[in-house]
Amino acid sequence: MKELENLKPAKVWQFFGELMQIPRPSKHEAQVSAYLQKFGHDRGLETLSDELGNVLIRKPATRGYENSPSVCVQAHMDMVCEKNADKKFDFMKDAIQPVLDGEWLTADGTTLGADDGIGVAAAMALLDSDDIEHGPLEALFTVDEETGLTGAAGLSTEWLQSSMLLNFDDEDEGEFCIGCAGGVDTTVAIPYNTEYASMGKAYCIKVSGLKGGHSGDDINKGLACAIKLLARLIWNGAEQCGIRLSKIEGGNLRNAIAREAYAVVVVPSAKAGDLEGLVKELGENMAFEFRSTEPGLSVSIQSTEMPRLLIDSDTQNKLLNVLLAVAHGVLSMSRELPGLVETSTNLASIKMDDKEIHIATSQRSSVESAKLAAAQKIEATFRLVGARVTHGDGYPGWTPNPDSRLLKVSVETYQRMFGHEPVVRAIHAGLECGLIGEKYPQMQMVSYGPTLRGVHSPDERIEIKTVQMFWDLTLEILKSLK
């Protein structure tokens, strides 16, 4: 890819370019898993894979480093697949198209896949190089991090031989992450009946132009949830104009804040003008409320073809009330670590089939009991309208170890190289370190990486210069652990 040809470090960008051409949605990593296995075998390296598709490649220590501690570098091979509504793109077969934007690399209308493709590429570059000083090295590539962390959850407790792990899935250059939140998904099903649409006028009401973003890292940034805004519009439309709901859809992935949502409604002809005015007024109010965080927010109402069926009035009433009432966003902040979100919930998506309305949410917390309480709060809210609620298995948080040798070496190395102290913190997002640490409780772990922004959305981008910094830092950490 010509956009990547002159970027440094060349080997990292080369492998990143190759990854961009391989479809790798979560739960569909067979092609990239096979690619990584072939990569390891072609270089004569010990290469293992498991039934999930996880790949582990081992590389012997370089001369003079045979007695250094074994280090595992780790990244996940799957990516979040989000695109702009007007972008024609098939994530199961199309290659990501990179776009140079000044000091950043982004993609043409889709997620870039730097989360965590750049981590995979860096690990591959380490394995491929013959001029790097390091002790015994393992590279672990996991599947399905983005939609359940099932790759890390299914990892064998007998696989890893390392005592230290460098996770390449952080998104801010200049920081080391040493702890993260645990999480659990809560899904909701609301059965409904249908009624034939009577006379009136049909509209499509849409919320779009939102930033979206990561449901952990970005949940405290004042971003709007398209589903919550749409629910507010339709609830008011039902109360003031008597609208009837035919279809509602919004959001996509449980770990992304919903960027777009729309509904098809029918309003009595005599109230059509009132509805148009109401949507315009509420849209202006919302734009003002989110003027500093969502400058692209758009609320539209357009005439559309009359639908044949409507959601029954009783279910509509329950649905609109619960969507307006259910919690979304930060539930509590940490009392011990200022600025850290402790517990949150994300109203991630709403979809329909011909029998049920399906709603996906996700809860996160750095306190296990608070995570459970958040999931119960969501369950209780939806139980009020007779919904069927189920919870996923969830995943554990990662308890910080501020006294580990790995962290000490990493911080000292960063300060020596760049002349200032890095930030050491825990994050509200989920990392595979929690699951890996549960299986390997003595493992020392640190997470870091180059700077990414807009992850889990088509605005995803990576700051090019920080990739070189990340690479140089990794080489020096490996060297300094001797």
pLDDT tens sequence across 408-437:
999 999 999 999 999 999 889 888 999 999
160 and 189 share a domain? no
309 and 331 share a domain? yes
Q: Please say which residue of 336, 359, 391 terminates a domain.
A: 391
The CATH number of the domain where 122 resides is what?
Answer: 3.40.630.10
On the question of pLDDT at 1 being above 80, the answer is no
End-to-end C-alpha distance for the chain, whole angstroms: 37
The whole-chain average pLDDT of the chain stands at 96
pLDDT tens sequence across 308-347:
999 999 999 999 999 999 999 999 998 877 888 999 999 9
Question: Which has more confidence, 402 or 157?
Answer: 157
* CB-facing half-sphere around the CA of 206: CA atoms within 13 A: 14
CB-based contact 258:229 (threshold 8 Å): no
Task: Please choose, from the candidates 179, 69, 80, 95, the residue with its C-alpha nearest in 3D space to the C-alpha of residue 428.
Answer: 179
199 and 143 share a domain? no
CA gap 128, 364 in Å, rounded: 37
386 and 408 share a domain? no
Domain count, the chain: 2
368 and 427 share a domain? no
The strand pairing partners of 277, in sequence order, are none
Q: Please say which residue of 335, 368, 391 terminates a domain.
A: 391
pLDDT tens sequence across 77-98:
999 999 998 999 999 999 999 9
pLDDT tens sequence across 256-284:
899 999 999 999 999 999 999 999 999 99
CA gap 140, 123 in Å, rounded: 9
User: Taking residues 104-133, what's their average pLDDT?
Assistant: 97
pTM value?
0.75
363 and 275 share a domain? yes
| pLDDT given for residue 400 in this prediction | 86
User: Taking residues 48-72, what's their average pLDDT?
Assistant: 97
309 and 352 share a domain? yes
Residue 443: domain span? 2-181+397-480
174 and 193 share a domain? no
328 and 188 share a domain? yes
Cα-Cα-Cα-Cα dihedral of 121, 122, 125, 127, to 10°? -100
102 and 189 share a domain? no
| pLDDT given for residue 409 in this prediction | 98
On the question of pLDDT at 393 being above 90, the answer is no
273 and 163 share a domain? no
User: Taking residues 474-478, what's their average pLDDT?
Assistant: 98
Q: Which residues carry out catalysis?
A: 78, 145
Task: Please choose, from the candidates 247, 231, 234, the residue with its C-alpha nearest in 3D space to the C-alpha of residue 279.
Answer: 234
CA gap 257, 290 in Å, rounded: 15
158 and 99 share a domain? yes
CB-based contact 81:47 (threshold 8 Å): no
User: Taking residues 234-243, what's their average pLDDT?
Assistant: 98
CA gap 17, 160 in Å, rounded: 28
Q: Please say which residue of 336, 368, 391 terminates a domain.
A: 391
On the question of pLDDT at 214 being above 90, the answer is no
| pLDDT given for residue 275 in this prediction | 98
On the question of pLDDT at 226 being above 90, the answer is yes
pLDDT tens sequence across 353-392:
999 999 999 999 988 899 999 999 999 999 999 999 999 9
- Residue 109 sits at φ, ψ, to 5 deg, of 80, 5
* CB-facing half-sphere around the CA of 232: CA atoms within 13 A: 15
On the question of pLDDT at 58 being above 80, the answer is yes
